[in-house]
Amino acid sequence: MNIVLTGSIGNIGKPLTKELVQKGHSVTVISSKEERIAAIEALGAKAAIGSMFDAEFLTETFTGADIVYLMETMEAAGDMFDKNIDFIGKIGEIGRHYKTAVERSGVKKIIHLSSIGAHTDKGTGIIVFHYHVEQILKQLPDDIAIKFIRPVGIYFNMFSFISTIKNKGAIVSNWGGDQKEPWVSPLDIADVVAEEIEKPFDGKTVRYVASDEVSPNEIAKSLGESIGKAELSWKVISDQELLKSWLDIGFNEQVAKGFVETQASQASGILYEDYYQHPPVLGKVKLADFAIEFAAAYQNEEV
């Protein structure tokens, strides 16, 4: 099949591209950076260089595809330290360009990488943009089938713990404790997307993706042991303290407030309401596997 992937070849895109090429599909990868062309072609895919804010470019690239994989990220909207960006608005704009390009190109099968929390527009913080993009895509005609893939928190978000571990000797956040919650590896996300690409498409469906279910205290224990700090603890601070720390380092206010609310929704359980009503079979990459990767990053990062 002819498959177009947005999102370049990052943590999910690279293994996904590899897997689809190995299965014999013709893959085109959209990237905004010309310097990615060689790396994309080295994977056996074709590169299409352009912007997700350019509906004409997207339409041209989608035309002739059997399936298009859509995703949007904070990075696509800009620098999180730029205080003038409306990230939720900008990502909604990407969603509208996707909708326009899908309609104009004639593609009938879409996989959209969304997120846990996309079931609601209440109380989930910055990731509410996933809800908005899902709603935009749901406006597409009934003859366009969409699979909404909703991964849970991705392991690589834990790399943000490295700075506080090195500077404060602990993982510091506004939620914690012994309540288990789901996490996922980008490799398991790529496997699920590749699997869904080869399954029948019918209507508009939702599938959650998770690799492991562990508590914050279990995360601290596993990561601590991996870096030789068996005593590592997960310290819980107030929403106000966390917000101040992020604003003090220059975060965009919408982003800082949004992340605090997202993490508070982990503590309250709002984030996981729909997930636990439709729990997935867990993937193969467990926290212990990621801890090895975390330890390598911890040793290499200077703070």
CATH code for the part of the protein at 2-155+183-212: 3.40.50.720
Residue 195 CA to residue 193 CA, distance in Å, equals: 5
pLDDT at 303 over 60: no
pLDDT tens for 72-126 read: 988 888 999 999 999 999 999 999 999 999 999 999 999 999 999 999 999 999 9
- Give the rounded percent of residues in the chain with a pLDDT score beyond 90: 97
Q: Is the distance from CB of 95 to CB of 131 less than 8 angstroms?
A: no
Residue 2 pLDDT level (bands cut at 50, 70, 90):
very high
Helix crossing, 87-105 with 55-62: angle to 10°?
A: 40
The two tokens of residue 295 are 């330890």
Greatest CA separation for the chain: 57
Nearest Cα to Cα of residue 258 among 94, 112, 129, 116: 129
Residue 222 CA to residue 233 CA, distance in Å, equals: 10
pLDDT at 28 over 80: yes
Q: How many CB atoms lie within 10 A of CB 277?
A: 9
Q: Is 150 exposed, middle or buried (0-12, 13-18, 19+ CB in 10 A)?
A: buried
Q: Is 139 exposed, middle or buried (0-12, 13-18, 19+ CB in 10 A)?
A: exposed
Q: Which helix (H) or strand (E) holds 266?
A: helix 253-268
pLDDT of residue 248: 95
Nearest Cα to Cα of residue 141 among 90, 172, 191, 103: 103
pLDDT of residue 302: 58
- Give the rounded percent of residues in the chain with a pLDDT score beyond 70: 99
Burial state string for 13-30 with b = 16 or more CB within 10 A and e = fewer than 16: bbbbbbbbeeeebbbbbb
Long-range CB pairs of 255-259 (<8 Å, 24+ gap) are 255/74, 255/80, 255/87, 255/126, 257/125, 257/126, 258/87, 258/88, 258/125, 258/126, 258/127, 258/128, 259/125, 259/126
pLDDT tens for 122-157 read: 999 999 999 999 999 999 999 999 999 999 999 999
Q: What is the pTM of this model?
A: 0.95
Q: How many CB atoms lie within 10 A of CB 102?
A: 24
